[in-house]
Structure 1
Amino acid sequence: MTNTSTIARGGGNTPAPGRRRKSSARPTRASGLPAWAVPYVLLVPGLLVIAGLLLYPMVQLTVMAFQKVGLAQVRGTRPAEWVGWDNFQRVLDNEIFWSALRNTVIFAVVAVSLTLIVGTAVGVLLNKLGKKMSLFVVIGCMFAWAVPPVAQGVIWRWLFDADAGIINWALNLLPDGLSSLLFGRADWTGEPWLNDAFTLYVVLVFCVVWAGFPFIAVSVLAGLKGIPAELYEAAKVDGSGPWRTFRKITLPLLKPVFAVLTILSIIWDFKVFSQLYVLMNGPTNREAFNLSMYSVAEAFKPPQKLGSGAAISVILTIILLIITVVYVRQIVKQEEMS
């Protein structure tokens, strides 16, 4: 009797064993937001910071590129005057712009290539070393990467100083016959490495590669740690040499890593300014200008033409965007074909 009444009271609402009711409501968080909206809400603070630090200054820079802005406009005594495309026309008609563009492109090609080559070689070497020795070398390399750009320029300016530089002192230690055979001269006292545009950029390449290869090396090392050791063992059994193993196994598997590192290196080396400014001791040698130095010289050297400087910066940004888009599209096409 008792069992029957119990079934009669609750049997109508009790679901069958093994079955669960389906809820038509979408899952929500404790905050009341839908689950799909939570990631976007979490991105809002970061997007606001990026907009405040990057997007707003970029918009202001673009607006300034179409205005005549000088010291009077900065002081607020006169309003900025809209001049349309005149700043861009003036910049493109100046021979210094094309010289600076040539210097920028050639330097970026050489510096990016050498940084990637040296960084990759060091990364492979670190992967072959033991754990303690690898950690010791990584820490030593990262000291160079951690040096601020201005300090990098000071270090290399001191090394190549005409009067007290170590480079001239070391070259003078070579036997006169050997020095004459290798370089065509025996006396290096007072050699002004930083006065000539070509040797200045040679020193700048050394400076940028020295400071940039540790980041490449550590990134390549991290990528190598993710490659299964069985692939190298199989290649070794098949009689593959080190260079062929690198081309057939390491390089293809590290393509995504190299793609990111190449893009970052291009952006960094196209915008090199601090090291060049210190080595050049300010915008003094127009033949050695790159686009960044030319922009600063136009904007701040009397008479100040901030509109022209902004126009050069906009052109540099557009060039970087074009290079990045073209490079990324090539990578995507190669991935789709493979």
Structure 2
Amino acid sequence: MTDTSTLPRGEGRSSTPGRRRARPPQKASGLPAWSIPYVLLIPGLLVIAALLLYPLVQMVIIAFQKVGLVQISGRRPATWVGFDNFTSILENDIFWSALRNTVVFAVLAVPLTLILGTAVGVLLQKLGRKMSLFVIIGIMFAWAVPPVAQGVIWRWLFDAEAGIINWALNLLPDWLSSLLFGRSDWTGEPWLNDAWSIYMVLIVCVVWAGFPFVAVSVLAGLKGVPAELYEAAKVDGSTPWRTFRKITFPLLKPVFAVLTVLSIIWDFKVFSQLFVLAGTNNREAYNLSMFAVTEAFKAPPKMGSGAAIAVVLTVILLIVTAAYIRQMFKQEEV
């Protein structure tokens, strides 16, 4: 038995056995607890305001002004013209042609990118670890290629004289080429002269560069799906398509929602690839981004009209994105 009478005061004795002594209270920051998260957000909000909000506000302001070469040089201040810039672009036939090209391109490119990316993501889930890593590295090279380089690559592939596509099509048997395409000779085919064929090449270019991001995102979502669900579906004799429709898609719906919104935004404002493939001389191949740039910078420069087109494109994207997100929320509630 230990004699505690000889121990210093406070040692070996405790009025509440089994409990640790309370730590001295730390000095408070002086801010209410509810305000700390908002204070921590201030640096990020300042960066967003400087890089995104300020240019956006300036774009809206310029859309209501007359800004030409005289105003850019500083010899005369910009003058307010109200909705004249919007009226002029809405009365321009090129605007409606560009709007049609933008919408049709997005309607085709977005589903193709999502379908191909989802298929590759599901395939990666079924591959072994080493092979999956090898395929991911390979496809991410395509996603990492800058947009201008993407346009250069596919412009060279579809070149009329030295393009590999015409060479490969000429290797097909005449009967097969005639059966599939209605012609057998592809020598000198000018793919990049007609607006329809330009957008066909552009769709291939954008889908090729965009599906790796979708595939990796879907693969990351699949890693969080419990394997027991797939095992139970397999025991019940479910087909792969039914398993995807009943298990994979409902659980990955938030992932698909984000990917769809991002794809819509990216494909609506495609510019660099189209600029490399078509240039600025073929007005039938304009989309809204190309039309905005040519109005703003091609002689004579009309910054107000270019900004007005950009505002219209931004509003369209906001409406489409809001409608899609609202529809997703309605489906979740159901």
TM-score between the two structures when normalised by the length of structure 1: 0.90
Deviation at 1:81, TM superposition (A): 1.3
Deviates more, 1:167-176 or 1:120-129: 167-176
Moved more, 223-232 or 171-180: 171-180
SS of residue paired to 2:86: helix
2:321 & 2:182 partners in 1: Cα distance? 43
Q: Structure 1 residues 211-220 or 180-189, which shifts more?
A: 180-189
Q: Could you report, residue by residue, the CA deviation over 1:120-174 in whole angstroms, capped at 9, with x for unpaired residues?
A: 0000000000000000000001000000000000000000001110001111122
1:188 aligned residue (186, 189, 193)? 186
Partner of 1:96: 94
Q: Counterparts of 1:137 and 1:79 in 2: how far apart (Å)?
A: 56
Instruction: Give 1:16 shift.
Output: 9.6
Output the CA distance in 2 between the equivalents of 1:326 and 1:174.
46
Residue 105 of structure 2 is matched in structure 1 by 107
Equivalent residue pairs, number? 321
Q: Give the Å deviation of 1:42.
A: 1.4
Aligned to 2:247: 249
Q: For 1:88-123, what per-residue CA distance to the aligned partner results, in whole angstroms no more than 9, with x for missing partners?
A: 000011111111111000100100000000000000
Distance 2:16 2:230 in 1: 57
Structure 1 unaligned spans of 5+: 1-14, 20-26
Residue 258 of structure 2 aligns to a residue whose secondary structure is helix
Instruction: Deviation per CA, 1:187-242: give whole Å up to 9, x if none.
Output: 21111101100010000000000000000000000010100000011111111111
- Counterpart for residue 159 of structure 2: 161
**Within 2, Cα distance between the matches of 1:329 and 1:308?**
32
Are the aligned partners of 1:118 and 1:213 in contact in 2 as well (CA < 8 Å)? yes
Question: Distance in 2 between the 1:41 and 1:120 partners?
Answer: 39
What secondary structure sits across from 2:70 in the alignment? Answer: helix
User: What is the match of residue 44 of structure 2?
Assistant: 46
Please give the secondary structure, in 2, of the residue aligned with 1:100.
Answer: helix
Q: Which residue of the partner structure matches residue 315 of structure 1? A: 312
The alignment status of 1:132 with 2:130, answered yes or no, reads: yes
**AA partner of residue 299 (structure 1):** A
Distance (whole Å) between structure 1 residues aligned to residue 182 and residue 26 of structure 2: 78
One-letter amino acid matched to 2:284: E
Compared with structure 1, are the counterparts of its residues 262 and 28 closer, same or farther at alpha carbon in structure 2 (3 Å cutoff)? farther
- Counterpart Cα distance in 2 of 1:244 and 1:294: 44
CA RMSD, aligned part only? 2.3
Structure 1 runs of 4+ with >3 Å offset: 15-19, 27-32
1:36 is paired with a residue whose SS is helix
- Take 1:59 and 1:182, find their aligned partners in 2: how far apart are those partners? 51
Q: Describe the superposition over 1:230-262 as per-residue Cα deviations: whole angstroms up to 9, x where unpaired.
A: 001111111111111110100111100000000
Separation in structure 1 between the aligned mates of residue 167 and residue 16 of structure 2, nearest angstrom: 93
Match of 2:328 among 322, 328, 331: 331
Partners of 2:201 and 2:28 in 1: CA distance: 59
